Structure 1
């Protein structure tokens, strides 16, 4: 069977192997690639190494150099700015394993970060190494790998603070066994956080000091965002046996333009101010809208992405609040979309949707 979405180290194994074979620069202890090669893996080389992140090179250099120190890395940004994507590829390039993951939620318990117990063995044998169930963070410490913590600000504050000793002392005490786990060289943590979640569970000052924060911005230009969306839709389309992206270039540009205009509250030419909807209209949502449109075109159309295939997806992405967002969308449709002659087929499809 073929995995729907292979892990980064599996999907890009050939690229990682090629970089490792030609990488003659110094590597930090426990790293599979040098910092320069990790950045090349993320940004591409224009030849055999494909870009995984499209954005400022300096941000990736700061992120990679942080992980080579004793400070952890916090990737911060609005939804859809590739925080999870970047953290996965960083872990894959540095450790060869992106699966040591803690998914942060309001229900994340301390055991998810420290360790738990096999209670059947605990009751029959008492506390023992065999009864202990290591967390992804503990396994990363033992093997000198990168651990990932997703949506850190959604984790309850008292659970967040279990990271303080791990990050400052590089040690995880196990008092039940009168022992501890000491982090091996190469260990570090990449956390992600959505800056729309500020005020949910703010990081304590003690914990924040142990992270170096890198803010991932939304794409700076429409061309950059079109490039990102095109690449990701192509990758997803291949995995789902959907039509090739070149047939979808016009619709990709239209979706990106709509999202950017509504996100910024201003039309591309700067002449018309717009109301913005309550949702984020992220790059990730644009990718989702277009992938769904490609599926419609492939299975219920002629294989060519047309305005009608993306209209319903855009309406669903924009209108999160059925009252206020519906007003925003109707105004945009009638004052902006309707006036663009080349957008008339999309205007009709969006009205029908």
Structure 2
């Protein structure tokens, strides 16, 4: 090693450590490292090959609990326990896992935490888009080396899926149905034969024990690039539902806003719990097409009004309260965010919103400040 390399190595290491410590959104395995470490220490159950935790411990990591040493494991997913158990069990078999649901049902969140708990690495990720190429799933080439020396393993650039196969880790594919159909089908051989041919080299990469894949897709994408029946058969599909009750949704929003708020130095979410409940109520009523008491039917807008959007509205409101208010979340802080979430189609959705304001919000006890704030931003 040269003197220059020796001199720069500590600097690079320090820079890497600083970037991890100051990351705006740390990876799950970094943000919850203490919980994963505590679970691993307390976990005495059988673990599948190359798993960091047993299936029981993975489920506990996602659902929350208290360990014998008093360590509190915070819930990452609030929903039916059986859904998590089926998802974890699937990963312990040779079938891949497809998390399906409407936008905002925590598919990506669950996928990331499953990979972090199983493999200790949630970064082996392929982000699906209409422009995702086959190389993103299989492999690419370092063209400088390819031109200089011809096809070789040194010139090959492995995809996250190929790396997961070689390391016995968990790969993730986000928004699978947004990927072109011919690129999707690249996964068929990988999932059925557990091998990835490299015809240019006359070689193949065989998946080692521990490899599996988690894909996510949402119900609203049906018909965009629907999965072929051959590919769908390679997955065990788990549907993530919307929160069953308003209390459950308020709990989810409060937890996520609190986590995000701490990283942004925003006020604690409990100080605005009334507004969080109000945002959730508005979203659920417009989403369901009926008020919570069942007495009044309302029209639903074109947007999904998901839990994820409620989290975004409340986080934005907390930022307004912190920087331009007294730090307490109030109706005026969330009104603009709600308007932006509801009115996606300026023509049709604005009519839906105005009708909801006048027939439901205006007449509801204790909502006068919220009504005035919404009227002001809607004018």
**Alignment TM-score, normalising by the size of structure 2:** 0.93
Q: Deviations over 1:86-131 (max 9, x none)?
A: 0000000000000000000000000000000001110111001110
Q: What SS does the corresponding residue of 2:281 show, helix, strand or coil?
A: helix
- Write the distance in 2 (CA, Å) between the matches of 1:195 and 1:317: 19
In 2: Cα distance, 1:248 partner to 1:264 partner: 24
Q: Distance in 2 between matches of 1:204 and 1:244?
A: 46
Partner of 1:11: 31
Give structure 1 stretches of 5+ with no counterpart.
none
Alignment match of 2:216 (pick from 179, 192, 207):
192
Gaps of 5+ in 2: 1-17
- Is structure 2 residue 167 aligned with structure 1 residue 147? no
* Corresponding position of 2:202: 178
CA distance in 2, matches of 1:67, 1:13: 21
Structure 2 equivalent of residue 258 of structure 1:
282
Shift of 1:341: 2.5
| Pick aligned residue for 2:50 from 5, 13, 30 | 30
**Structure 1 runs, 4 residues or longer, greater than 6 Å off:** none
Q: Residue 88 of structure 2: SS of its match in structure 1? A: helix
Alignment of structure 1 residues 233-272 onto 2, 5 Å: 233-272=257-296
Aligned with 1:347 (options 352, 361, 371): 371
In the other structure, the counterpart of 1:82 is 106
Which runs of structure 2 are paired with 1:329-344 in the superposition (5 Å)? 329-344=353-368
* 1:298 aligns to 2:322 (yes or no): yes
* CA distance in structure 2 between the aligned counterparts of 1:351 and 1:202, rounded to whole angstroms: 41
Q: 1:118 aligns with which of 139, 142, 153?
A: 142
Cα deviations by residue, 1:207-242 (Å, 9 ceiling, x for unpaired): 000000000000000000000000000000000000
Q: Deviations over 1:272-318 (max 9, x none)?
A: 00100000000000000000000000000111111000000000000
Secondary structure class of the residue paired with 2:297? coil
Q: CA separation in 1, counterparts of 2:72 and 2:298?
A: 42
Distance 1:79 1:219 in 2: 12
Cα deviation, 1:244-264, whole Å, max 9, x if unaligned, reads: 111110000000000000000
Q: How many residue pairs end up in the alignment?
A: 353
For 2:15, the equivalent position in structure 1 comes to none
Counterpart in 2 of 1:277?
301
Output the TM-score relative to the length of structure 1.
0.99
Which one of the candidate residues 334, 337, 349 is aligned to 1:313?
337
2:65 is equivalent to residue 50 of structure 1 = no
Mapped to 2, the partners of 1:191 and 1:292 lie a distance apart of 29
Residue from 186, 202, 205 that aligns with 2:229: 205
CA distance in 1, matches of 2:227, 2:293: 40
| Inter-partner Cα distance in structure 1 for 2:357 and 2:196 | 56
Work out the CA distance in 1 between the residues paired with 2:204 and 2:344.
48
